Amino acid sequence: MSADPLAEVVTLLQPAAHSSKLVECAGQWRTHREGTGEPFFCAVLEGCCRITVEGRPPMTLEAGDFLLIPALRDLVNEGLVGPPDGVTQDSVQVSPGYFRVGDQEGRVALRAQIGHCSFASPNAELLVPLLPQIVVVREEPRLAALMQLVHGETRARRPARDLVLERLLKVLLIEALRCAGETTSAPGLARGLADDRLAAALCALHARPGFSWTVTKLATEAALSRSAFFARFTRTVGLPPMEYLLAWRMALARRLLNAHELGMDQIAERVGYSSASSFTVAFARYVGISPARYARGHSASLILTDQSLQLSSSRYAITDRKLTYED
C-alpha cells in the first residue's frame, strides 16, 4: 500500500484560516509580532524587507519570496533602513483587509500578503515538530497566487467558505513544504521526502505504522547501512528515526481514539503495540494521560458542544415562534 507522508501530516493537522490581509509599508518602519505558536505565512508582492525570527539571524525577503512559520515565535519585520533601535509601529487599517505601516502617504517600500491560520487537530503539538521551523521559498509565483485566493475567500462570505479555505490552505501548505524540500537546508519531513533513500523509508513507515519497525529494517528500506541511515535521517528530518515513528504512531492513536470506533486492543495493534497494556504505557508516557482518559475527555467535549448547539437551536426556535406569534 502506497502512502504520501506529507499529505497525511497536513491533512491530519486540519488547517483553518483566521485572517488574511494586504499590508503596505513606507518610510522608516518596523513591526513586532509576538509569538503565538500558530502558523504564519507571508508572500512579498513588491519591494523588500528584513525579518528576524527569535533565535535566528536576520533574513532579507524580496518580491516573489514566500515565508511560512508553522509555529510563530517573536518576529520583527522592518525596512532595510529601519527606525531607531527599539522603535516599532502598529499597522493602521485603511479599509477592510488593507493596512499601512509607517508613512501613511509615502511611496510603498513593501507590499505583502500576510495570513494567519490555526491547526484544529488535537495532534498539532505532535505533528508540528515534524515540519521545518521556518520555510522560505524564493521566486515561486504559485504560492503568491494561492495567497491571493486565500485572501479573497477570507474576505468573502460565500457558501461553503470554510470548506474552500480548508482545501486552499492544505494546497498552500503542501506546495510550500514541497518547494522547501527542494530548496532549503532546514531539517524537516519535506526535506526527508526530497531524499530518495529516506523517502523510501518514510513512505514504508507511513504505509505500515503497525509493523514492528526497527532502525535496521528502515535502513533496509532505504538501501543504506544502519549507521549511515540513522545519521542521514536524523540530520535531514530533524528527529531520530524511532522518535519520528513514535510521534506518528501517537498522532494516529489520538485520531483513532477520537473516532471511538475501535477497542483499545485494536488501536494498539494498528499503531504497532503487541497489547493494550504496552500501548497504554507508551501513550501515557508520551501524551501525559492514559488513552482511556484521553478518549473520555474527547467524548465529554463533544457532548458539551452538542448540548450547546442544541440549546442554541432551542433559543432560535423559541425566538422564531415568538416572532411568528407577534406577527
Q: Where are the alpha helices (DSSP H) in the chain?
A: 5-13, 124-127, 141-155, 161-183, 189-193, 196-207, 215-221, 226-237, 241-259, 264-270, 276-287, 291-326
**Calpha distance 200→179 (Å, rounded):** 19
Looking at the DSSP assignment, which residues form a beta bridge with residue 48? 62
Closest CA relative to residue 132, chosen from 190, 172, 82, 74:
190
Domain boundaries, the chain: 5-183, 191-293
Single-letter code of the amino acid located at 174? I
Two domains, one topology: 5-183 and 191-293: no
Burial zone of 237 (CB within 10 Å; 0-12 exposed, 13-18 middle, 19+ buried)? buried
Q: What are phi and psi of 14, to 5 degrees?
A: 55, 65
Q: Hey, what's the cell of 67?
A: 515565508
Phi–psi pair at 245, nearest 5 degrees? -60, -40
Average pLDDT for residues 16-38, to the nearest whole number? 89
pTM of structure = 0.75
Q: Residues 244-288: pLDDT tens digits?
A: 999 999 999 999 999 899 999 999 999 999 999 999 999 999 999
**Would you say residue 52 has pLDDT above 60?**
yes
Query: 84-107 as b/e, with b when 16 or more CB fall inside 10 Å?
Result: eeeeebebeeeeebebbbbeeeee
Q: Is the pLDDT of residue 306 over 50?
A: no
Average pLDDT, the chain: 85
Distance of alpha carbon 201 from alpha carbon 228, whole angstroms: 13
Side-chain-side CA neighbours of 283 within 13 Å: the count stands at: 29
d(CA 234, CA 84) in angstroms, rounded, equals 42
Query: What's the pLDDT at 322?
Result: 33
Round to whole Å and give the CA distance between 13 and 305: 21
Report the DSSP pairing between strands 59-62 and 40-53. antiparallel
Q: Residues 164-197: pLDDT tens digits?
A: 888 888 898 888 888 876 666 678 888 898 899 9
CATH superfamily to which 5-183 belongs: Regulatory protein AraC (2.60.120.280)
Q: What does the DSSP 8-state code read for residue 130?
A: G
% the chain with pLDDT above 90? 47
CATH superfamily of 191-293: Homeodomain-like (1.10.10.60)
What are the distances in angstroms from CA 140 to CA 66, 172, 178?
A: 8, 12, 12
Grid coordinates of 283: 501513550
Reference 244, options 161, 126, 103, 89; nearest CA is 126
* Higher local confidence (pLDDT), 326 or 242: 242
